[in-house]
Amino acid sequence: MTYLSKITTTQKPWLLLGLSALGLELTALYFQYILDLQPCIMCVYQRLAIISIAVAGMIGAIGYKHIFARLIGYCLWGTGAIWGTLIAIEHVEMQRNSGSMFFSCDIIPNFPTWAPLHEWLPFLFEATGDCGEISWQFLNYSMPQWMIVVYGLYSAAFVVVLLNRLIIARKP
C-alpha cells in the first residue's frame, strides 16, 4: 500500500503514463495517415482525452517533487481517463445503432470558441469520418471497444493510485 501511495512521488511512473498515452496518440496518427482510417468526431474527442493523459504524465514527470504539479497531473489524468471512457462507450453505442435516427455524429467538433482546436491543428483534430462506421477490428472488437479497455485501465490505475495516496495521507 505504501508503495502505491508513493509511486507518484517519483518520475518513472509519470513518465510511463505520459509515454504510454503518447504511444497511443502516435498509433492513432498511424491509423489515420498510413492506413487511411478517417477519424470521426468521437475519435477526435477520444484523441483529446489521450492527449490529456499524455500531458498529465509529462507534467508529473517534470514536477513529481511538487504537490501542485502532481495535483495538476492527477486532474488531467482522471479527467482524460474517465471522460475518454464515457466517450468510447457512447461511440460504441453509436456503432451499434448506426442505422437508427437517434444516434448521429456531428461533423464539426464542439470545442470552446476560445480554443477551436480543429482550426488550429486540423491534422490532429479535424473529423472526417463517420461515427457509425466500423472500418477496423482486432479480435472482433472495434477501435472504440478497444478504447473502452484502454481508458478502463487508465481509470482503474488512477483510482487505485489516488485512493492509496489518500488512505496513506490520512494515517498518522
- Domain 2-170 sits in CATH at 1.20.1550.10
Cβ-contact 44, 37 below 8 angstroms: no
Distance from C-alpha of 62 to C-alpha of 145, rounded to nearest angstrom? 32
- C-alpha cell read off for 139: 479480435
The pLDDT value recorded for residue 171 is 58
Q: How many CB atoms lie within 10 A of CB 81?
A: 26
Phi, psi of 64 (to 5 degrees): -60, -20
The pLDDT value recorded for residue 16 is 92
Return the active site residues: 40, 43, 47, 105, 131
Higher pLDDT, 23 or 6: 23
pTM, two decimal places: 0.84
Single-letter code of the amino acid located at 20: S
pLDDT digits (tens, 9 = 90+) for 16-35: 999 999 999 999 999 889 98
Q: How many CB atoms lie within 10 A of CB 50?
A: 24
Average pLDDT of the chain? 83
Cβ-contact 109, 45 below 8 angstroms: yes
Higher pLDDT, 128 or 46: 46
Q: What are the sequence ranges of the domains in the chain? A: 2-170
**Helix (H) or strand (E) run with residue 35 in it:** none
In this structure, what DSSP letter does residue 8 have? Answer: G
Q: Is 66 helix (H, G, I), strand (E, B) or coil?
A: coil
What stretches of 64-142 show up as alpha helix (H) in DSSP? 67-96, 117-120, 122-125
CA 95, distance to chain mean position in Å, is 19
